[in-house]
């Protein structure tokens, strides 16, 4: 990303925000705003956020904070209106505080997609082996590599090339706007060692990442990964 922060762009998409059965936003004038380099959020003019569903909770010289209230449902401090600086005159809604977000008629997850980012999934014949404390968790020559702009390459492995006896389903799920909803496994070694939520997979995936559906990825930051026999340096997670 070459522009300075915060960076503000108009979006051509119709954006709707659903809470308790009501669209509290339905606009074609949303703004994409980068306040950090990794991805943008949607911001709105106050006139695009339905005021009948907002209850003022806090006012300062910089912000006006609102609860969203629809019937007996309330999302505390979910809306922020900016009163100064580059974001003056704009409002943002906490993404996870509402029930659903839509770009046109398509749901989006976690945050808007970055129009300057791309995600590619490529079939590879590299030999990839994953271990924890010397115990082999996966061994494949059929990985699919996911390349996502500015992020560490992720390796997705067929379940048939994993030691599934060591993987136990977790209750954790996470969402990604590019890939979809992920389910997790924890690793349980014979010696009693447990590594929580270090494996994830997508039962279904977004169209641009459809080739990783059903494959599993290992959390490289916490495991030993060998590629063509060479132990890889553990990457640093991006916040």
Q: What is the mean pLDDT of residues 88-102?
A: 97
CA distance linking residue 234 with residue 231, whole number of Å: 9
Task: Extract the tokens encoding 38.
Answer: 């990794």
Instruction: Give the model's pLDDT for residue 1.
Output: 57
Strand (E) or helix (H) holding 70 = strand 63-70
Domain 119-231 belongs to what architecture? Answer: Beta Complex (2.170)
Instruction: Give the model's pLDDT for residue 37.
Output: 83
Q: Within 10 Å of residue 123's Cβ, how many Cβ atoms?
A: 9
Instruction: Give the model's pLDDT for residue 144.
Output: 97
What is each CA distance from 119 to 27, 35, 144, 200, in whole angstroms?
27, 22, 13, 18
Instruction: Return the sign of the alpha-carbon dihedral for residues 208, 163, 200, 145.
Output: negative
What is the average pLDDT value for the chain, to the nearest integer?
94
Instruction: Give the model's pLDDT for residue 155.
Output: 97
DSSP 194: E
134-138, 163-167, 208-212: the lowest-pLDDT one: 208-212
Task: Say whether pLDDT at 158 is over 70.
Answer: yes
Q: What is the mean pLDDT of residues 96-123?
A: 93
Contacts for 120 with CB less than 8 Å, ≥ 6 apart:
146, 147
Instruction: Give the model's pLDDT for residue 234.
Output: 85
pLDDT tens column, 171-182: 999 988 889 899
Task: Extract the tokens encoding 111.
Answer: 């945050």
Q: What is the mean pLDDT of residues 115-120?
A: 90
Instruction: Give the model's pLDDT for residue 90.
Output: 98
Q: Is the peptide bond before 153 cis (omega within 30 degrees of 0)?
A: no
35: left (phi over 0), alpha (psi -120 to 50) or beta: alpha
CATH number of 7-108: 2.170.150.40
Instruction: Give the model's pLDDT for residue 38.
Output: 82
What stretch(es) of the chain map to CATH 2.170.150.40? Answer: 7-108, 119-231
Instruction: Give the model's pLDDT for residue 7.
Output: 94
Q: What is the mean pLDDT of residues 3-19?
A: 95
pTM given for the model: 0.75
Instruction: Give the model's pLDDT for residue 104.
Output: 97
pLDDT band per the 50, 70, 90 thresholds, residue 149: confident
- % of the chain at pLDDT higher than 90: 80
């Amino acid at each position: 990303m070459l522009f300075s922060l915060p960076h503000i762009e108009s979006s051509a998409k119709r954006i709707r925000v659903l809470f308790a059965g009501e669209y509290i936003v339905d606009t074609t004038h949303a703004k994409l705003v980068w306040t950090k380099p990794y991805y943008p959020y949607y911001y709105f003019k106050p006139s695009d956020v339905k005021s009948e569903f907002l209850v003022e909770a806090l006012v300062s010289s910089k912000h006006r904070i609102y609860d969203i209230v629809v019937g007996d449902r309330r999302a505390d401090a979910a809306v922020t209106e900016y009163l100064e600086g580059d974001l003056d005159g704009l409002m943002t809604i906490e993404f996870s505080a509402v029930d659903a977000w839509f770009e046109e008629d398509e749901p989006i997850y976690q945050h808007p997609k970055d129009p300057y980012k791309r995600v590619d999934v490529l079939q590879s014949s590299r030999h990839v082996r994953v271990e924890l404390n010397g115990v082999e968790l996966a061994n494949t020559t059929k990985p699919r590599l996911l390349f996502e702009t500015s992020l560490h390459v992720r390796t997705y492995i067929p379940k048939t090339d994993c030691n599934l006896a060591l993987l136990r389903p977790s209750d954790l799920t996470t969402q990604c706007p590019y890939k979809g909803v992920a389910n997790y496994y924890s690793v349980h070694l014979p010696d009693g060692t447990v590594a929580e939520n270090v494996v994830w997979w997508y039962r279904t995936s977004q169209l641009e990442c459809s080739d990783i559906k059903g494959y599993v990825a290992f959390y490289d930051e916490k495991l030993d990964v060998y590629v063509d026999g060479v132990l890889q340096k553990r990457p640093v997670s991006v916040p």
